[in-house]
Structure 1
Amino acid sequence: MPETPLPSIPRTWRFPAELASVPRVRRAVFDALPRPCSPQLSYELRLLASELATNAIKHGARGSEDETIELVFWTADGFHWLAVSDPGEGWPAMATPGRDVCGGRGLVLVEALSDVWGVAERAVRGKSVVAGVRRTLR
Structure 2
Amino acid sequence: MTTPTTRQAAVTVRVFTQRFSSTPRGARLARRLALHQLDRWGIPYGSEVSDAVGLLVAELAANAVTHGRVPGRDFELALTYTPGARLRIDVSDTRGERRPASVATGPLDAGGRGLLLVDALASRWSVLDRVPVGKTVRAEIDLGP
User: If the length of structure 2 is used for normalisation, what is the TM-score?
Assistant: 0.80
Instruction: Identify unmatched segments of 5+ residues in structure 1.
Output: none
Q: 1:103-122, aligned counterparts within 5 Å?
A: 104-122=112-130
From 12, 27, 36, the counterpart of 1:31: 36
The answer for the alignment partner of 2:134 in structure 1 is 126
The answer for the alignment partner of 1:72 in structure 2 is 78
Change beyond 3 A, Cα 1:117–1:94: same
Which one-letter code corresponds to 1:45 in the other structure? V
CA RMSD of aligned residues (A): 2.5
Identity rate, percent = 30
User: If the length of structure 1 is used for normalisation, what is the TM-score?
Assistant: 0.84
Report how far residue 7 of structure 1 moved: 2.5
Report how far residue 96 of structure 1 moved: 2.3
- 2:95 partner SS: coil
71-80 or 117-126, which moves further after superposition?
71-80
Provide Cα deviations, 1:29-60, integer angstroms capped at 9, x if missing partner: 11111214461211110100010101111111
Change beyond 3 A, Cα 1:71–1:54: same
Asked whether the equivalents of residues 73 and 81 of structure 1 are also in contact (C-alpha less than 8 Å), the reply is yes
Asked whether the equivalents of residues 93 and 107 of structure 1 are also in contact (C-alpha less than 8 Å), the reply is no
Which one-letter code corresponds to 1:82 in the other structure? I
The answer for the alignment partner of 2:90 in structure 1 is 83
- 1:30 partner SS: helix
From 9, 19, 24, the counterpart of 2:14: 9
